[in-house]
Amino acid sequence: METSDVIQLALIGISQGCGYALVAIGFVFIYRATEIINFAHGELMMLGAFMVLTFAQIWGLNFWLSACLGILSLGVFGYLLDAVVMRRIVGESQAIIFILTVAIALMLRSLAGIIWGWSPRSLDVPFMQDVQIGGIVLGMDRIAIILGTILLCALLYWFFSRTRTGLAIQASSQSQLAAYYSRIPVKRLISVVWAIAAMVAAVAGLMMAPVTQVDTGMSAFGIKAFAGAVVGGFGSIPGALLGCLLIGLAEPFLDFFFPAFKGVYAYIIMLVVLFIRPEGLIPQTFAKKV
Amino acid sequence: MSALLDVRNVETFYGPIMAIAGVSLAVNAGQIVTVLGANGAGKSTLLKTISGAIDCRKGQVLFEDKEIQNRDPDVVAARGIGHVPEGRDVFPFMTVEENLLIGAYGRGDRDAVKRDFETVYQYFPDLKTKKHDRAGFLSGGQQQMLAIGRAFMGRPRLMLLDEPSLGLAPLLTQTIFQIIRRINGEQGVAVLLVEQNAHAALEVAEHGFIMEVGRIVMDAPSPELMASDDVKEFYLGQSSEGIRGERRWKKRKTWR
Ligand SMILES: Nc1ncnc2c1ncn2[C@@H]1O[C@H](COP(=O)(O)OP(=O)(O)O)[C@@H](O)[C@H]1O
Ligand SMILES: [Mg+2]
């Protein structure tokens, strides 16, 4: 294996990890605000990609406009998903909530299949061309994922630590009752958290589309993102980022050297980490912000 | 003149269990009123019912002559009621300053909010020196100060204080109660103070209610309560928990 191959694989791995990370931080946001683990999060990512595809390739709108519309539409969808469905089951047992989110996942996948068909579609994005740096060819689509993730994380960090609404969401996640007593409209803000999480998932869907294609199978991404969040220490944002990057980075190398278990390394890593360090790499208690 | 807060015949349940059974009490503007009672008497439930954290099944809660029972707590808080919950419940991962800022959430008057920060720091100088520390790292007393400061930042006309002396050393309790009295006197905030520490509470309160297993069993001006034999025996006495519990059971009949 040559240096350039290592760099290629690393780039693929890191960008894949970034994609997982965007999905993972979405459900960590939701988990921290509501203690709901949303197993339909990969489906939200898939839906985001399909929406952008609809605006760009079916309606023929400009790509960037379609991207914005696609992300916004997922924001509305996430908000309504909470306001209309999830808010009603507050206080139900974890088992009921689990089954409900899984049911929503299955319904969304079927719905997507019915609307957009079951075969993969490709989404043409303006960042497809490869770049050559020092004799190594790098996929622009991969680089875009990494840059996009860094930008989005910075934006989210700013939002949660500097804006009034962001701080209020943090407060609601740390103590819902005390937040209520402080005049924070907790219910509405929880819906806003769902909206943000869905929009971040849509960005992941949009950015992963060029490398995975858009189809209903895309939602499986959510399970690997979940594995990444568990590896990092479920409930912690830095943990989710680290866990997802680790899994993303390890996957292509393990697939390359030991192809026997191709595709399931994310879960193997999760099991190994759970055996050695069940609380994850960065447990929630040490992750103070966001 | 009608009362600032008027609780009428309120009944609150946890599932099938009735936690408060037909409680009525009133707090006038600018007044400090205390509700005394042992663990499990239903004091916290009463405060939660007032602030909307729990719905009541029967009765009414009037604040400034408007019904507020069974509203969401953020709506009740916006009406002018600041709840300082049992066990402080500060936002542990946020700084002292951020906690206070959250307390002022929903207020538009930025300049006044800035002044209120200074007011809180004046009452609680400890908070000023720790303003960039995470609330979770503060001592119990400092967290209690922060919880009171946070509620104050909402500029309430009535503060509900749930056992502010819980787990604090006597000296610290005294300091905090003095500040409660100052906030009441200087800012005109009425206070409904729930306590097990009858001594400290009756000293600052004008009027006291005594609660037992979900009911108000006695109510009188503080000096009268302090002089009452029953109160002396069960709430101001030195006797241990076990003896107190037994005696209460025997004596309760005389109160009803
Ligand atoms: N969440 C709850 N679920 C069921 N019962 C509760 C709950 N909270 C309190 N109770 C019961 O209601 C009664 C009153 O409790 P509480 O209001 O906390 O009393 P206090 O604050 O005076 O100690 C107690 O018997 C307690 O066991
Ligand atoms: Mg209590």
Residue A135 has pLDDT above 80, yes or no: no
Ligand 1 pocket: which of B11, B17, B84, B241 to mutate (most atoms within 8 A of CB): B17
Ligand with the closest atom to the CA of B20: 1
Each residue of A30-63: pLDDT tens digit? Answer: 999 998 999 999 999 999 999 999 999 999 999 9
User: Minimum mean pLDDT among A51-65, A122-136, B81-95, B179-193: which range?
Assistant: A122-136
pLDDT at B231: 80
How far, in Å, CA of A11 to CA of A109, rounded? 30
Nearest-CA residue for atom 25 of ligand 1: B40
Which is more confident, B103 or A138? B103
Closest alpha carbon within chain A to B86: A178
Count of Cβ atoms closer than 10 Å to residue A286 Cβ: 11
How far, in Å, CA of B74 to CA of A46, rounded? 36
pLDDT at B237: 61
Instruction: Pick from A181, A186, A191 the residue to mutate for testing the B interface (most B CBs within 10 Å).
Output: A181
Mean pLDDT of all residues belonging to chain B: 91
How far, in Å, CA of A13 to CA of A135, rounded? 20
pLDDT at A120: 92
Rounded mean pLDDT, A180-195: 97
pLDDT band at A285 (very low <50, low <70, confident <90, very high): low
Listed residues: CB within 5 A of ion ligand 2: B 44, 86
Residue B241 has pLDDT above 60, yes or no: no
pLDDT at B229: 81
CB contact under 8 A, A171 and B151: no
Cα(B25) to ligand 2 centroid in Å equals: 18
- Closest C-alpha to B152, from B75, B77, B95: B77
Write the CB contacts of A161 (distance below 8 Å, at least 6 apart in sequence): A167, A170, A289, A290
- Strands B207-212 and B215-221 come out as antiparallel
Which token pair is B226?
A: 């302090």
Ligand with the closest atom to the CA of B18: 1
CB B38 within 8 A of CB B212: yes
Residue B104 has pLDDT above 50, yes or no: yes
Each residue of B210-239: pLDDT tens digit? Answer: 999 999 999 999 999 988 887 877 776 644
How far, in Å, CA of B221 to CA of B206, rounded? 6
Closest alpha carbon within chain B to A289: B93
- Mind telling me how many Å the CA of B54 is from chain A's nearest CA? 11
Residue B10 β-bridge partners? B23
pLDDT at A91: 82
CB contact under 8 A, A178 and B91: yes
pLDDT at A125: 85
pLDDT band at B16 (very low <50, low <70, confident <90, very high): very high
DSSP secondary structure letters along A195-262? HHHHHHHHHHHHHHHHHH-BSGGGGGHHHHHHHHHHHH-TT-HHHHHHHHHHHHHHHHHHHHH-GGGT
Q: How far is CA B142 from the centre of its chain?
A: 17
Which token pair is A154?
A: 């910075």
Residues of A in contact with B134 (CB under 8 A): 288
Count of Cβ atoms closer than 10 Å to residue A137 Cβ: 11
**Residues framing ligand 1 (Cβ under 6 A):** B 14, 17, 19, 37, 39-45
Mean pLDDT of all residues belonging to chain A: 91
pLDDT at B160: 98
pLDDT band at A235 (very low <50, low <70, confident <90, very high): confident
CB contact under 8 A, A288 and B93: yes
Residue A230 has pLDDT above 50, yes or no: yes
Exposed (0-12), middle (13-18) or buried (19+): which is B153, by Cβ within 10 Å? buried
Instruction: Pick from A169, A183, A189 the residue to mutate for testing the B interface (most B CBs within 10 Å).
Output: A183
